[in-house]
Amino acid sequence: MELNEQEIVRRESLQKIKDLGIDPYPAQMFDVNAFAADIKANFDQEKNNYQDVSLAGRIMIVRGKGKVSFAELQDSSGRIQLFIKRDNICPDEDKTLYNPVITKLLDIGDFVGVKGEVFVTKTGETSIRVQEFKYLSKALKPLPIVRRVKNEETGEVEVFDAFTDPELRYRQRYVDLVVNPNVKDIFIKRSKVINTMRSYFDDQGWMEVETPILQPLHGGAAARPFETHHNSLDMPLYMRIANELYLKRLIVGGFDGVYEFGKMFRNEGIDPTHNPEFTAMEIYVAYKDYIWMMGMVEECLEKVCTAVTGGTKVMVGDNEINFAGPYRRISMYDSIKEYTGIDVSEMDEEALRNVCKELHIPIDNTMGKGKLIDEIFGEKVEEHLIQPTFLTDYPIEMTPLAKKHRSKEGLVERFELFVNGKEIANAYSELNDPIDQRERFEEQLKLAARGDDEAMVLDEDFLRAIEYGMPPTSGLGIGIDRLTMMLTNQSSIQEVLFFPQMKAEK
């Protein structure tokens, strides 16, 4: 292992700490009874509160080499200044320990525990007067030092030597979280998205469940799967591309409403809105349809946006998005006609291919009618759907798992929710006719034979399940990553994933 100069110095410091009889990685716990942010927000000099505090965290700044030192401690809530005076932390002990431990061997990034009292310095800084100091963990690698300097003329805080390289930040998210405090806020909001949604569903009486990640068939969506092999069973297994078919089996089993937050895996490319591993929420509610589901989505997302941002409006790039319902509703065919001037509703596959050529949309021979329509929509319509918009009533060829439209021949009862030009939700009135479902699966097999590696497979067990009878049901999937991107105004999915997939490190 090759070490740089700073890493060598830190290992030498580590050995010196051990030589002093100090354990740099003690096993015993350290009791914490206060946090930096709470102290800075609530300390009152007149009340003289916080006079027996115990904090733990990383040292981020060290100043002073004599009998008095100042440091900044960063815990999970923020930073606070430490005032460390030799006579306070070792009044009865050998004071020769103070100088090497505090002024020479303490490094930025080290974890320490301190006990003491809160006071305000002459410069007005709320600080901890340290009375006890304990090493909790020695850091052997130096953190990037991000300097924040207040501009005396403008009053603005200027940042220097910031840890901003995206590849480094994503590979070393643990460092990113330490030195870029705003990053942690993104993930706190992501957690709030999930928890608010979960609470909303629980209040309706729907049950959170878990379904298999390793599946014998890759069903429930049009996507290329990851394949693996189970040695003991001697059979191929697939990382799930969706949990839809298993959740609908539970509706067959008698649950009125089930939902799952789960990881999905699709063997696809990586771009600002796609990662091979992503999080989706899927929910299925018996005796409902896609029209009811649109209203539920409006109500749910309005609650989520309010919980995360404090209101229903949020900036996404240059656009102000309003998540308060009702949302615009427009059919797939009408949207294409609105933005291209072309009515594709009565076209066959050959005519659609000609339209794609006219519009300079790349296609190939594996694409059937449904994929051609989807390509036209994706190239010419999607980017225009900025405010929340329900795109409804898809061609039957595009959606093998949705119920035929109750009044429009050749369509299914489906909607996708588009926000800021991106799809974040997909819902159906679920197909519960087992004969129709088998025919749809067989059509997918024909597409697979033409070379469509995203075509669905025929799932005999799922067909058997709905042959026992499945009630009218509406289902919905929401992409948690994309929703979080919008509510935190991030342009890349990598910013809302703790550990995005990346190429092998060189």
- Provide the CATH number for the domain around residue 411: 3.30.930.10
Question: Among residues 143, 160, 194, which one ends one of the domains?
Answer: 143
Rounded CA-CA distance 192/307 in Å is 7
How does pLDDT run across 107-129, given as a tens digit for each residue? 999 999 999 999 999 999 999 99
Residues 259 and 311 both lie in one domain: yes
Residues 43 and 170 both lie in one domain: no
Residues 79 and 30 both lie in one domain: yes
From residue 43, how far is each of 12, 35, 428 by CA, in Å? 39, 11, 54
Residue 489 lies in a domain: yes
- The DSSP code sequence of 260-302 is EEEEEE-----BTTB-SEEEEEEEEEET--HHHHHHHHHHHHH
Residues 38 and 74 both lie in one domain: yes
From residue 111, how far is each of 60, 80, 353 by CA, in Å? 10, 14, 63
Domain range enclosing 305: 182-327+387-496
Beta carbons within 8 Å of 115's beta carbon, 6+ residues apart: 52, 53, 54, 55, 130, 131, 132
Measured from the Cβ of residue 156, the count of other Cβ atoms closer than 10 Å reads 9
- What number is the average pLDDT over the span 95-102? 66
73, 112 Cβ separation under 8 angstroms: yes
Question: Among residues 160, 179, 198, which one ends one of the domains?
Answer: 179
What's the one-letter identity of residue 160?
F
Residue 116 lies in a domain: yes
Residues 42 and 28 both lie in one domain: yes
Residues 305 and 435 both lie in one domain: yes
Residue 340 lies in a domain: no
Burial class (CB in 10 A: 0-12, 13-18, 19+), 228: exposed
Question: Among residues 115, 143, 171, which one ends one of the domains?
Answer: 143
Provide the phi-psi class of 234: left if phi over 0, else alpha when psi is between -120 and 50, else beta: left
Q: What value, to the nearest 5°, has the Cα angle with vertex 181 and ends 36 and 197?
A: 95
From residue 292, how far is each of 302, 428, 473 by CA, in Å? 16, 10, 11
- State the total domains in the chain: 3
Residues 129 and 96 both lie in one domain: yes
Rounded CA-CA distance 445/131 in Å is 73
Residues 198 and 232 both lie in one domain: yes
pLDDT at 65 over 70: no
Would you state the structure tokens that stand for residue 137, as one six-digit string? Answer: 């963990």
360, 381 Cβ separation under 8 angstroms: no
Rounded CA-CA distance 192/188 in Å is 6
Q: How confident is the model at residue 13 (pLDDT cuts 50, 70, 90)?
A: very high
- What number is the average pLDDT over the span 338-362? 94
φ and ψ of 438, to 5 deg: -65, -40
Q: What is the pLDDT of residue 50?
A: 94
pLDDT at 302 over 60: yes
pLDDT at 154 over 90: no
Beta carbons within 8 Å of 333's beta carbon, 6+ residues apart: 343, 344, 345, 393, 395
82, 73 Cβ separation under 8 angstroms: yes
Residue 501 lies in a domain: no
Residue 341 lies in a domain: no
Reported as type and span, the H/E element at residue 13 is helix 5-19
Angle between helices 480-487 and 290-309 (to 10 degrees): 40
- The DSSP code sequence of 190-218 is HHHHHHHHHHHHHHTT-EE----SEESS-
Residue 289 lies in a domain: yes
Cα dihedral 84, 88, 91, 95 in deg (nearest 10) = 10
- What number is the average pLDDT over the span 292-303? 98
Taking 3-state DSSP, the helix, strand and coil percentages for the chain, each rounded to the nearest 5, stand at 35, 25, 40
How does pLDDT run across 374-419, given as a tens digit for each residue? 999 999 999 999 999 999 999 898 888 999 999 999 999 999 999 9
**Nearest Cα to 189, choosing from 346, 312, 325, 310?**
310
Rounded CA-CA distance 394/416 in Å is 9
Task: Name 402's bridge partners.
Answer: 430
Residues 101 and 215 both lie in one domain: no
Residue 370 lies in a domain: no
Residue 346 lies in a domain: no
307, 352 Cβ separation under 8 angstroms: no
Residues 117 and 265 both lie in one domain: no
Measured from the Cβ of residue 1, the count of other Cβ atoms closer than 10 Å reads 3
**50-59, 98-107, 129-138, 216-225, range with the lowest pLDDT:** 98-107
φ and ψ of 412, to 5 deg: -125, 160
Residues 318 and 269 both lie in one domain: yes
Residues 250 and 395 both lie in one domain: yes
pTM of the complete model: 0.90
pLDDT mean across residues, the chain: 92
CATH of the domain at 11: 2.40.50.140
376, 344 Cβ separation under 8 angstroms: yes
Q: What is the pLDDT of residue 451?
A: 81
